[in-house]
Structure 1
């Protein structure tokens, strides 16, 4: 059993936010992305995490608010915050404490129940992540519908192209392609996933994982509405300045 499978297995033991702790209305991640695209800008979702099973560790003592205040806002559509505690050292408190930044918040977690969707909403999240590689289609549909009923956006992510087959039916979802295989934690150079997501017409398409200052100018983001970037920003690379200078190019 891989680490991500283990995380899902332990979800039943998670402490959830059952009290309403929102301090502001929902902010739409999808609308924020589309506003930037309408101005010919790629959209950046900047991620905050303290650790990851792939070996990443954030700088000691990094402050969440100071981190986000230092990011170039020209292309910033929203923020992503890891809330999984055991392997990513995250917490729902980080979601709650980020609400007054007035940016759409993606709750980056391994959500598998409606109670976890409710917890993300109660903590102040605006958008949830659902990972299709690990969720049965029936459960994926139920969680997607539940989040939409709360007024939240949903980012559905895939790596395995086999799990992407049914994603065409989620007409209001943001679709993400994760370049990292979450079962092996290795970056997969296979082009099939890139081709699959770029073929999803009339969807907001986000590229995830392994985007850094060395490859961001390679054309890999052509056809994507934006990118979710964490480790390279947290490590001090200048990717936010570079993405702020790039134009959004619609896939034809």
Structure 2
């Protein structure tokens, strides 16, 4: 699955490299970039990062004609600490434009995509995003991941490093990551299990911020993950499929 995502991003990377060779580098965004870490700590443990994703590889289209402007307001008004914004187009129906469209409420945005090249980090820094997702195993090695982590921090982005197994966690720490996102999805079956997070959180170290991602759909699960030590949970599919996304989010955040 990750190889498919890698292939899907190559056109974007080639385009960015061509522009770079022609002397064009995206200018760093000069507007407000609220702190992702501060927002999580203020509402954590168990802060909810609400995700906007029109589609997913496992379920296809999640919501027809989903309006990112509407969802930004809905998420901000119902207790979200931050918004995860899918910008990958082929499998998730996203676009980097969503980062600008969803910045109006002023809560931190996490760019969720498959970031493989330093120029993608530069492009993220040219948007209102406050954080960027880096999937550990999509990097060539520890040196590559460490470079991406450092590049993200330079313009003020928070690098969120996603892990699936022990090797990923070891690599993330060796690369200097201090925001760890545990993905509960099995990449082979696409099924989710919170046992993944239940097991990994035992290794949380002082000074780290941990996020539980995938498989959360109930308030009791949010409370359990918070009790185990997760600073935040990332919730997407159940919000996108809900008849009333705001009501569902308020339930998850405890605002209802």
Q: TM-score, normalised by structure 1?
A: 0.84
Q: Is the 8 A contact 1:168 1:200 kept in 2?
A: no
Which residue number corresponds to residue 27 of structure 1? 34
**Residues 107-141 of structure 1 deviation map (CA, whole Å, 9 limit, x = unaligned):** 00010110000111112211000111322222111
Which residue pairs with 1:11 in the alignment?
9
2:240 equivalent to 1:234 = yes
Show CA shifts across 1:155-200 (max 9, x none): 11111222112333455631110100234422246x3553223321
C-alpha separation in 1, matches of 2:38 and 2:94: 26
Q: How does 1:67-216 map to 2 (within 5 A)?
A: 67-71=71-75, 73=77, 75-135=79-139, 136-169=141-174, 173-188=178-193, 191=195, 193-202=197-206, 203-213=208-218, 216=221
Contact 2:184 2:196 (8 Å CA) reproduced? no
Measure, in 2, the Cα distance between the counterparts of 1:165 and 1:194.
17
Task: Classify 1:28/1:218 alpha carbon distance in 2 versus 1 (closer, same or farther; 3 Å).
Answer: closer
Query: CA separation in 1, counterparts of 2:222 and 2:37?
Result: 24
2:254 matches 1:245 = yes
Runs of 4+ in structure 1 off by over 6 angstroms are none
Residues 158 and 176, structure 1, Cα contact 8 Å, conserved in 2: yes
105-114 or 12-21, which deviates more? 12-21
Query: What SS does structure 1 have at the residue aligned with 2:149?
Result: helix
Larger helix share, 1 or 2: 2
The 2-side partners of 1:217 and 1:155 are apart by 19
Unmatched runs of 5 consecutive residues or more in structure 1: 247-252
The alignment partner of 1:201 has SS state of coil
Tell me whether 24-33 or 177-186 shows the greater mean CA deviation.
177-186
In the alignment, is the contact (CA less than 8 A) between 2:216 and 2:222 conserved in 1?
Answer: no
Displacement of 1:153: 0.4
1:192–1:161: structure 2 CA closer, same or farther, 3 Å change rule? farther
TM-score normalised by the chain length of structure 2: 0.83
Tell me if the contact between 1:205 and 1:224 (Cα under 8 Å) persists in the aligned partners: yes
Structure 2 distance, partners of 1:36, 1:50, is 26
